[in-house]
Amino acid sequence: MYNLLQRANAIFAFAMTVTFGVLGAIAIVTPFLPSSPSAEITVKDIQVISYDYMSQGESEFAFIKLNLDADLTSLFNWNTKQLFVSVLAEYETNSHDINQVILWDSIIQSKEEALIKVSDLHNEYNFVDITTSFRQVNASYSLYWDVMPYVGVLTSGQTKSNHVIKFPPRSNEYR
Amino acid sequence: MSKWFEWRIDFEGQKRCEIISQVTIILFAVIGFAYGFLNQDLLATMKIYFGGIIFTSILTLPPWPYYNKHPVQWLPEISDKESEDPKKM
């Protein structure tokens, strides 16, 4: 520490160590912050169309229209960088116990954007079953989110909707 | 020129410098963390802490007179005649 370079080196190294301490403290404290997210999903319309996509044979495509009303602002604490939010459809079939399909997703980067109100949400991606037919299954819809912190452990959560609607039989025309 | 920019401090000064630098950095880390946590503002924590590091650098890097209050007591110079003494060879 007798000359400038020695002192600068010593102080920089110590500052680095303390920086890691501060970041560690932030990561440890974050899970104890309270949060109360809420979401409501209501199904407006379901259509099931049979279609030969890319010449793979006939299979059923579902087109879902939903209302989404969610308040995720309480998930935004000092350590939240962004939220990844998606609407899931979950159902059970004879051949497969758990089926989960993402209908819609969004990245939310600020507290203001966390008040989600989408009144005409339709599935962004093709909704197909792993077999070629849905067989008029009952599906429940839920909102799922990943909280991405600046420092620390990735956390997630989900709310389930009470609205369970049976899929209609296949039709040949899209309304 | 480089000798002047060496910014030497004596041993007692180094001791004081080490204590001051460590205490100040930790103090700003704790204050920054507490303020940021209470206001839920991560940017404030970072600003306070890194501002604290710069402040500590100003306090410790330049050779302030406070660090040179106990200069090293070098032994007196040996005169030329004694060093040519054949007995010491």
Output the furthest CA–CA distance in chain A (Å, rounded): 85
Q: What is the DSSP string of A29-85?
A: HGGGS----EEEEEEEEEEEEEEEGGGS-EEEEEEEEEEEEEE-GGG--TTEEEEEE
| Cα–Cα dist A139/A121, whole Å | 16
Put simply, the answer to whether A22 touches B56 (Cβ < 8 Å) is no
Q: B85 to chain A, minimum CA–CA distance in Å?
A: 36
Question: Which value does ipTM take for this structure?
Answer: 0.80
Query: CA distances (Å), A141 to each of A28, A85, A105, A124, in order?
Result: 33, 13, 13, 15
pLDDT band at B2 (very low <50, low <70, confident <90, very high): low
Low-confidence spans in chain A with pLDDT less than 50: none
For chain B, the structural domain boundaries read 24-64
A40-52: pLDDT as tens digits = 888 888 888 888 8
Shortest CA distance from B51: residue in chain A: A15
Element (H, E) at A105: strand A99-108
Residue B82 has what pLDDT?
57
A63 contacts A174 by C-beta, under 8 angstroms: yes
Put simply, the answer to whether B42 touches A150 (Cβ < 8 Å) is yes
Residue A25 has what pLDDT?
95
Residue B43 has what pLDDT?
93
Q: Which tokens sit at A160?
A: 């389930």
* Residue A42 CB-half CA count within 13 A: 5
B18-30: pLDDT as tens digits = 999 999 999 999 9
B39-58: pLDDT as tens digits = 999 999 999 999 999 999 99
Mutate to test the interface with B, among A3, A6, A9, A11 (most CBs of B within 10 A): A11
Residue A27 has what pLDDT?
94
Q: Which residues of B touch A78 (CB under 8 A)?
A: 36-37, 39-42, 45
A86 contacts A106 by C-beta, under 8 angstroms: yes
Residue B88 has what pLDDT?
55
From the list A3, A22, A78, the residue facing B29 with the nearest CB is A22
Q: Reduced to 3 states, what is the DSSP secondary structure of residue B62?
A: coil
Q: Which tokens sit at A35?
A: 């949060």
> For A47, left (φ over 0), alpha (ψ -120 to 50), or beta?
beta
pTM (predicted TM-score): 0.79
Interchain CB contact of A20 with B (< 8 Å): no
Put simply, the answer to whether A26 touches B33 (Cβ < 8 Å) is yes
